[in-house]
Amino acid sequence: QSALTQPHSVSGSPGQSVTISCTGTSSDVGGYDYVSWYQQHPGKAPKLIIYDVNKRPSGVPDRFSVSKSGNTASLTISGLQAEDEADYYCCSYAGTYTVVFGGGTKLTVL
């Protein structure tokens, strides 16, 4: 049950694209297509933005997309907007009804 590895921080200017990686093992990210991503603004509860690797809940713009290769999933946010500034967490199913989160990435919009 080791945490998934995410970069501590990323940044980009409005309109640009940024990518946040999430690296696990064959027992979690690499073993299942059950990776999800959450956005958390300061003082707020997390919000689901991606599930089952690359599906978006209703209301989440298609500027958010995910790809997965092997033990690494990557969230790309295109057309950066000021409101995208937040913490982002990946999460993966790890078998036997357990899940594991990444350490989180702080996105700064310059």
Partner 1 sequence: EVQLVESGGGLVQPGGSLRLSCEASGFTFSSYFMSWVRQAPGKGLEWVANIKKDGSDKYYVDSVKGRFTISRDNAKNSLYLQLDSLRAEDTAVYYCATQFGPRFFDYWGQGTLVTVSS
Q: Interface residues with partner 1 (CB under 8 A)?
A: 1, 3, 34, 36, 38, 40, 45-48, 51-52, 57, 89, 91, 93, 96-104
Nearer to partner 1, 36 or 71 (CB): 36
- Host H or E run for residue 87: strand 86-93
Nearer to partner 1, 30 or 46 (CB): 46
Q: What is the largest CA-CA distance in the chain?
A: 41
- Minimum distance of partner 1 from residue 45's CB (angstroms): 4
Nearer to partner 1, 49 or 80 (CB): 49
CA angle 42, 36, 80 (to 5 degrees): 55
- Minimum distance of partner 1 from residue 40's CB (angstroms): 8
Yes or no: say if 57 and 48 are a contact pair by the CB < 8 Å rule. yes
Yes or no: say if 108 and 16 are a contact pair by the CB < 8 Å rule. no
- Minimum distance of partner 1 from residue 93's CB (angstroms): 6
